Structure 1
Amino acid sequence: MKPAALLLPLVLGAASAAPAPEKAAFAGAAPDLLRSFGIQANYTYLNAKTGFPNADGSFTLDRILGVSKHTYNIVGLFERGPVSLRLTYNKRGKFLATRQDRSDDFYTEEAKPAGRLDLSTNLTFSKNATFFFDATNLLGDPFRTTFTSARGGAPSADFVRFLRFEEQTFSAGLRFRL
């Protein structure tokens, strides 16, 4: 894709993106058991910038707040007879959370989202009933935000702003079709 320019009141922006989804499964001459496996993958590259006001009234082109340059997902699949399994990993790259020019201080916050690994299983034991088990956030990695500040000409310093541990969930049950 070609970069796109967007002119808003006092803000200049530009972005380029390249999503790349893909699906694959074994087929054809593969052994019967291998035909039960599959994979889905998706990668997105997004190079997006916008203008931020400086203390002197000028603008600086920098990353758009909350937008990651790299995002990807990969899903491993198994489906055979009554059994269905999905293992999913999602990862988003770091992103700029805050950017401020405070005349004597240039302050930024950068977020580093954790990767997520989720599992979904199903066992269909009759035409009308399925047992399921799901687990989310198996890795339990934290979401981290750091800030950088350089007040009054001092060297810039980095600090952890917050560290958030998101819950892991486990659920099981029965689904019925009437």
Structure 2
Amino acid sequence: MPSASFRLNLRDDLLFGAAVSKTLTRPDLSNLSAAVGYDFRPTDQTITKGNAELKPYLSKNLDLGLEWYFADTSYVSLDTFYKKVDNFSTLVTSTTEVLGFPFLLTEPVNLNSAAIKGAEFTFNYQFTHLPSPFDGLGVATNYTYVTSSASASGSEISTTGKFAIPGIGNSSNASLFYQKGPVELRLAYNWRQAYLNSIAGAQGQPTTVKSYGQLDFSGTYHLNKNVSFYLQATNLNNEKIYQYQVYLDRESYAEADGRTIAAGVHIDWK
């Protein structure tokens, strides 16, 4: 698909960038499946199916950004973006009948159109002015604000109008790192605001994923150019994933992955 990007040096330390593009993205293969699944439990009779007629996403994109390099290895930037997406797809649940019995049918459908817009702020700083060995310290952080809307026809869901696009939400991350000589250390916190998972999930109710924040650590010691030791730890704060429908106290899903710690040796035989 066509695309173009531009970069202009407003000053030696100040850069302006712009990009326009058109992209096409195929739907997930699982959503295109022709398979149909039935659940005949008396209290929860459901049908789950794919949709082989799903259309691919078509997106028109515009990105604008400024970058200010106030030191050799430090900078601050602000980027804005706008995306107009046609045929955005999501899972919806509706009622149907099979042999006179009521069922809940869940299947992927294309929305009419969707608009996504927002901005991202980034700040990276290395403390190179500190005395050794502290000159290897640094911080990196960014925050992304995004807003969205999508229109859907009444034949697809029970209420027409504007809806948040599933999977879209604000996010941020911050990390403290040290990199000097053979040592590399990083402690990072990644956060994602609550976001819509499905416009019409079980019982036709919208499903939302709660805010989630995870603390990770990674460290590497390079013994020489061929051998290095590493240690990685994810989800140190033992965060859990929760989903709810309409109200916070109506939880519909919980996932506890726990902490994961891995250590090992990397050897390059070249």
1:143 maps to 241
* Structure 1 stretches lacking a partner, 5+ long: 149-155
1:31 aligns with 2:131: yes
The 5-angstrom pairing of residues 101-112 of structure 1 reads: 107-112=205-210
The 5 A counterparts of 1:23-102 are 23-27=124-128, 29-54=129-154, 59-68=160-169, 70-100=170-200
Cα distance change, pair 169–6 in 1 and its aligned pair in 2 (3 A): closer
Q: CA deviation at 1:59?
A: 2.3
Cα offset, 1:91, TM superposition: 1.0
How many residue pairs match? The answer is 167
> What TM-score do you get using the length of structure 2 for normalisation?
0.54
By how many angstroms is 1:99 displaced? 2.2
Q: 2:252 aligns with which of 161, 168, 172?
A: 161
Compare 7-16 and 72-81 and name the one that shifted more.
Answer: 7-16
2:190 partner letter: N
Change (3 A) 1:98 1:130: same
Post-superposition CA distance 1:72-105 (Å, at most 9, x none): 121211123322101111111111112239xxx8
Task: Output the aligned Cα RMSD.
Answer: 2.9
Q: Report what 1:121 is aligned to.
A: 219
Decide whether aligned partners of structure 1 residues 58 and 139 sit closer, same or farther in structure 2, where only a CA change above 3 A counts.
closer
Per-residue CA distance 1:41-79 (angstroms, 9 max, x = gap): 1221110110134479762112101211x1112121112
Larger deviation: 12-21 or 139-148?
12-21
Q: Is the 8 A contact 1:14 1:50 kept in 2?
A: yes
| 2:112 alignment counterpart | 11
Q: Identical aligned pairs, as a percentage? A: 23
Task: Write the distance in 1 (CA, Å) between the matches of 2:81 and 2:228.
Answer: 48
> Do 1:113 and 1:142's aligned partners in 2 also have CA atoms closer than 8 Å?
no
Report deviation, 1:39. 1.4
Structure 2: tracts of 5 or more residues without a match = 1-79, 88-109
Q: Kindly provide the amino acid, as one letter, of the partner of residue 30 in structure 1.
A: L
Q: Which amino acid aligns with 1:18?
A: A
Which residue in the other structure is 2:17 paired with?
none
Amino acid corresponding to residue 242 of structure 2 in structure 1: R
Q: Match of 2:262?
A: 171
Query: d(CA) in 2 for partners of 1:80 and 1:58?
Result: 57
**2 CA distance for matches of 1:161 and 1:113?**
15
SS of 1:35's partner is helix
Higher relative contact order (CA 8 A, sep 6+): 1
Flag the 1:99–1:126 CA change in 2: closer, same or farther, 3 A: closer
